Structure 1
Amino acid sequence: LNLPMHLQKRAKYLLSIIMPVHNASSWLVECLQAIMHQDFTGSMELSVFDDASTDDSRKVLEGWRERMEDRGISVVISGHGSSQPGGGQLNYPSIVYFFLVRLQYETSILHPNSLIGCRVQRLPEGSTERYARWINSLAQDQLLTQAYTSHGPTVVMPTWFCSRKLFMKVGLFDEGGKGVPEDLLFFYQFLRQGGSPLRVDQRLLVYRYHEAAATHSVTESTIWKLRVDFLQERVLSQWESFTIWNAGKQGRKLYRSLSLINQKKVKAFCDVDEKKIQKRFYTHEESKERPKPTVPVLHYKEATGPFIICVKLDMTGGVLEENLNSLQLKEGTDYYHFN
């Protein structure tokens, strides 16, 4: 980006790369080399939090200190003796929270109240294929509208770039430790405060998948409850009634998870499966209400919006997407994905 002169004058801040490390020696050299070869020419700092590593991560880091400092990158290494997997290692108080990517930095100068992400290259190739495709294919407006899907934040945390001022305004990461989705909680709070995520549409980060990642400690039920609560807070509270698109397992699960007030707003389920449609009604057998609530089941062409879509994206050979397009609906107004 070619920044105007008045913005160039503002571009004098320290950029700090925040690197939480826990038994990461297998990948540290590759990561440190990438930092060394960044083309940003301003003041930089590498702030490493060693989260009680028991391998030779600390030795590798110390071995790179002199090379980093010769490159003009100051190095701060801190840590503690007991591991805190999750968000705690990201709250080290001397942090200026930036990811060192020049294009993200320039975007952040132009959009100081935005959380900036980027496209990623997923390694190993082919791992979490649908998730990686989703990360990289979202349109700019979908960074807001698809914040309710099971994938989590629409810009993934390893790509986040923002000012310290914005980070402190949103609030520190949750330090609950293992099993706490600190990135999702932070992202939701960012949206609550009117934040708008942006993405540099280039692949600026290698996003590695491995079984030891802390993200695997977060249970599906934890994520589900957070998503349902956020959907009710941000969307359903604004609607007088709506239709759940999917009369199957996921649609019924969403219905049962809603508050009583929002259950009463569900005017129908809709589907394409004739077997489900022929049943005509879904009865909420677990309800304590008498008589037990029943909800009509309709063909999607007979249903009326707005809709909450509980069918997985990119899993129907384009049929779901074609059906939505045939109704000329607008995402974020007429429907939201919750899948």
Structure 2
Amino acid sequence: MNEDTVSIIVTVLNGEKWIDSCFRSILQQCTAVRLQKQQLQPKQMHREQHNNVDGNELLAYVASTTAKEEVEQKQKFQIEVCVFDDCSKDGTADMLKLWQHKFNNYRIPMHIVQNESGKSKGVGYGRNRAIEAATGFYLCFQDIDDEMLPTRIQQQYALARYNKDALIGCKFVRAPANSTCRFARWANELDELKLTLQIYTANGPTVIMPTWLCHRQVYERIPQGFCEHGYGTPEDLIFFYAHLDRGGRVMRVNDCLLLYRYHPAATTFSIVADTIWQLRMQHLLMHVLCREPWRSGFTIWNAGKRGRKFFRDLPQAEKCKVRAFCDVDEKKINKSYSHYDEAAHRFTYLVPIVHFKHARPPLLICMKLDLTNGAFEENLNSLNLSEGRDYVLFT
């Protein structure tokens, strides 16, 4: 293993359309480091300033005109490219060989792992095989249809060196620019203190998978690595939860370092929404609802469709803990929700519906964010509650 090597992990299935733009963006990473080194001017700086440095201070330090020898130490990394070709049927295999030769001209190793089974194995399987071929202490995950922006690896590597137990993400720009605006706004503007709190939204991990860079030990702490169940599996969310369950941290570089492409053939569209719902529900049951103050009772915010679905999907033992629904709709307030048990062929629960101002914490909030021109967020903020302690978002 090479301590100063960042292994770029790529899986590809019929990706000839994206290979050139993706791999050109990887080459830019080396160019960006060389240019910045040429622009830096030596400046005296005491080593004591680097002790116990946090992420933001470190990034500011690397980007500033600090002592040249110190910066070179922080930026001294090599890259290699590790690609898993998941049984592509187009011209992917030939293009990968051409790029292997191009990378070799730049003294960048490129390892190609071929799936020769005749059947696609899926993204999780491919990532595991590419990582097996990797020699770096650091892993940078890159989707073939996305592009690294200059200094992506430089900035994330600088942060990862001091935070070997963290998944390091970054902000991104969407292409086309007007696609998934609400999602992009949430992912890019989410407060860093909430990166381990807002983990039960339908948006998935709070730092998106195509932006991840981490020390290899983050990956090795997860038994069997990425889930290999194949097509339709949210392997990124499964890995993200496993990382958090083992005390792993989540961090983000607050610069846009990735062009994140949106298109109909993206892997995201292979994931069934109910699969993600059930995965989130199971994690919530195991890590939130079984603990105080939740196990003594809680309120569901939203007496509408999503709130009732959440109630129906709760195990019987958890349904008993629901004190009330709360809402803002005057047509629902002061009434009750009658739950009909399909198996028992009878109504089994009668849950009161109260105004949100009268709701008793903790609150399980089943409201989607950024949909009511700020009205829901204003109502929630008016209660002066603490996220994670008094309420959890399950949106």
Structure 1 CA distance for aligned equivalents of residues 283 and 100 of structure 2: 43
User: More deviation in 285-294 or 31-40?
Assistant: 285-294
Structure 2 CA distance for aligned equivalents of residues 64 and 79 of structure 1: 15
Asked if 1 retains the 8 angstrom alpha-carbon contact of 2:365 and 2:391, the reply is: yes
CA-CA distance at 1:275 after TM superposition: 0.9
CA-CA distance at 1:70 after TM superposition: 2.5
Asked if 2 retains the 8 angstrom alpha-carbon contact of 1:18 and 1:48, the reply is: yes
Asked if 1 retains the 8 angstrom alpha-carbon contact of 2:111 and 2:133, the reply is: no
> Which residue identity lines up with residue 323 of structure 1 in the other structure?
N
- Of the candidates 317, 325, 328, which is equivalent to residue 373 of structure 2? 317
Structure 2 CA distance for aligned equivalents of residues 250 and 229 of structure 1: 17
1:221 maps onto 2:221 in alignment: no
> Which residue identity lines up with residue 188 of structure 1 in the other structure?
Y
Asked if 2 retains the 8 angstrom alpha-carbon contact of 1:116 and 1:197, the reply is: yes
Aligned equivalent of 2:263: 210
Structure 1 CA distance for aligned equivalents of residues 228 and 122 of structure 2: 9
- What percentage of residue pairs aligned between the two structures are identical? 44
1:16 maps onto 2:57 in alignment: no
1:232 maps onto 2:288 in alignment: no
Structure 2 CA distance for aligned equivalents of residues 122 and 56 of structure 1: 27
Asked if 2 retains the 8 angstrom alpha-carbon contact of 1:86 and 1:176, the reply is: no
- Per-residue Cα deviation, 1:147-202 (whole angstroms, up to 9, x for no partner): 00111111111111111122011231111100111111111111111112111111
Asked if 2 retains the 8 angstrom alpha-carbon contact of 1:85 and 1:214, the reply is: no
Question: Which consecutive unaligned segments of at least 5 residues does structure 2 have?
Answer: 34-74, 141-151
User: More deviation in 294-303 or 38-47?
Assistant: 38-47
Structure 2 CA distance for aligned equivalents of residues 201 and 332 of structure 1: 23
Asked if 2 retains the 8 angstrom alpha-carbon contact of 1:86 and 1:181, the reply is: no
Aligned equivalent of 2:241: 188
Aligned equivalent of 1:4: none
CA-CA distance at 1:282 after TM superposition: 0.7
Asked if 2 retains the 8 angstrom alpha-carbon contact of 1:44 and 1:72, the reply is: no
Asked if 2 retains the 8 angstrom alpha-carbon contact of 1:307 and 1:334, the reply is: yes
- Of the candidates 127, 130, 134, which is equivalent to residue 90 of structure 1? 127
Structure 2 CA distance for aligned equivalents of residues 229 and 215 of structure 1: 21
User: More deviation in 87-96 or 105-114?
Assistant: 87-96
- The number of residue pairs the alignment matches comes to 328
Compute the TM-score of the two structures, normalised by the length of structure 1: 0.93
Structure 2 CA distance for aligned equivalents of residues 79 and 202 of structure 1: 34
User: More deviation in 248-257 or 32-41?
Assistant: 32-41
1:43 maps onto 2:78 in alignment: yes
Within 5 Å, which residues of 2 pair with 1:140-151?
A: 140-151=192-203
- Of the candidates 94, 98, 106, which is equivalent to residue 59 of structure 1? 94
> Which residue identity lines up with residue 23 of structure 1 in the other structure?
N
Structure 2 CA distance for aligned equivalents of residues 141 and 228 of structure 1: 22
Within 5 Å, which residues of 2 pair with 1:1-339?
A: 12-38=3-29, 39=33, 41-81=76-116, 82-92=119-129, 93-95=132-134, 96=136, 98-99=139-140, 101-171=153-223, 172-238=225-291, 239=294, 240-278=296-334, 280-286=335-341, 288=344, 292-339=348-395
Structure 1 CA distance for aligned equivalents of residues 315 and 233 of structure 2: 23
Compute the TM-score of the two structures, normalised by the length of structure 2: 0.80
> Which residue identity lines up with residue 383 of structure 2 in the other structure?
L
User: More deviation in 147-156 or 285-294?
Assistant: 285-294
Structure 2 CA distance for aligned equivalents of residues 59 and 263 of structure 1: 56
Instruction: Describe the SS at the equivalent of 2:353.
Output: strand
> Which residue identity lines up with residue 17 of structure 1 in the other structure?
I
> Which residue identity lines up with residue 30 of structure 1 in the other structure?
S
> Aligned-residue CA RMSD in angstroms?
1.7
CA-CA distance at 1:289 after TM superposition: 9.1
User: More deviation in 193-202 or 91-100?
Assistant: 91-100
> Which residue identity lines up with residue 307 of structure 1 in the other structure?
L
Instruction: Describe the SS at the equivalent of 1:144.
Output: coil
Structure 1 CA distance for aligned equivalents of residues 389 and 86 of structure 2: 43
- Per-residue Cα deviation, 1:258-307 (whole angstroms, up to 9, x for no partner): 112211111010000011114x1111112639762111100101111111
Structure 2 CA distance for aligned equivalents of residues 331 and 59 of structure 1: 51
Question: Which consecutive unaligned segments of at least 5 residues does structure 1 have?
Answer: 1-10
CA-CA distance at 1:41 after TM superposition: 4.6
Asked if 1 retains the 8 angstrom alpha-carbon contact of 2:19 and 2:95, the reply is: yes
Asked if 1 retains the 8 angstrom alpha-carbon contact of 2:341 and 2:347, the reply is: no
Structure 2 CA distance for aligned equivalents of residues 164 and 70 of structure 1: 27
Asked if 1 retains the 8 angstrom alpha-carbon contact of 2:124 and 2:227, the reply is: yes
- Per-residue Cα deviation, 1:9-36 (whole angstroms, up to 9, x for no partner): xx94321001111111111111111110
CA-CA distance at 1:214 after TM superposition: 2.3
Structure 1 CA distance for aligned equivalents of residues 316 and 193 of structure 2: 31
User: More deviation in 81-90 or 289-298?
Assistant: 289-298
